[in-house]
Amino acid sequence: MALLPYLDEKEALPEIRRLLQRPVVLNVLRMTANAQSVFAQRSRLSTALLNDIKLDKRLRELAILRTAADCRSVYEWSHHVPAARHVGVSDEQIAAVKNWQQANCFNELERLVLQFTDEVNANVKAGRATLEALKRHLSPAEIIELLIVIGHWRQTATILETTEVDLDDVAGKYNILEGTPPARR
């Protein structure tokens, strides 16, 4: 059971209530909605990071999965495994993310993204050698987007883990990228 209450829809501001009127409202949204003054902007950022960035979606999902692993966030992991599959990350790669250093299923760029993610998560700052290597593959815009992705999902993991947000019944069946609920059985 979550350590803080989820926002009661009756207490939500009209704009927040509108944002929460979806076919499926995930617990992470219900928890972060408690911060009503920033919830709408944070939701827009999440949506932009999922839909509007130049960074390859596979690299984005690898960075999110690695961040979930670094933060030991089961909730974040459970929601981004289907998202990673949806954008073409293989099951072999998903299984290897937690021990990527020993895996042979990642190309040079993917390994750099995973290393960069680890360094940022561990030290706030990536190593200069890793950044220089990444610059040979990604534009400045893509590198900044990658940093924002790592920071955003690390912040999300912090919220999820500190408040012990309950796993959703739809975890693993609901694709956050498609925004559609699972089929009813």
pLDDT single digits (tens) 76-129 = 999 999 999 999 999 999 999 999 999 999 999 999 999 999 999 999 999 999
pLDDT higher than 60, residue 172: no
- Per the listing, tokens 């990444």 go with 134
**Per-residue pLDDT, 22:** 81
> Tokens representing 136?
């040979």
Averaged pLDDT for residues 147-169: 96
Query: Rounded to an integer, what distance in angstroms lies between the CA atom of residue 139 and that of residue 131?
Result: 11
- Backbone angle region of 88, left / alpha / beta, with phi > 0 → left and psi within -120 to 50 → alpha: left
Amino acid identity of residue 95, one-letter, is A
**Per-residue pLDDT, 108:** 98
Which are the contacts of 8, defined by CB distance < 8 A and separation ≥ 6? Answer: none
Range 55-163 classified under CATH 3.40.640.10 = no
- Counting beta carbons within 10 angstroms of the beta carbon of residue 143, is it exposed (0 to 12), middle (13 to 18) or buried (19 or more)? middle
* Other residues' Cβ atoms within 10 Å of the Cβ of residue 157: 23
> Tokens representing 28?
């992470």
CA dihedral 177, 183, 184, 185 (to 10 degrees): -130
- Asked if residue 76 lies in contact with residue 67, where contact means CB atoms within 8 angstroms, the answer is yes
φ and ψ at residue 156, rounded to 5 degrees: -60, -45
- Asked if residue 154 lies in contact with residue 166, where contact means CB atoms within 8 angstroms, the answer is no
CA dihedral 52, 56, 57, 58 (to 10 degrees): -170
Amino acid identity of residue 162, one-letter, is T
The full set of domain ranges for the chain reads 55-163
Residue with more model confidence, 28 or 170: 28
Range in 101-105, 169-173, 174-178 with the lowest mean pLDDT: 174-178
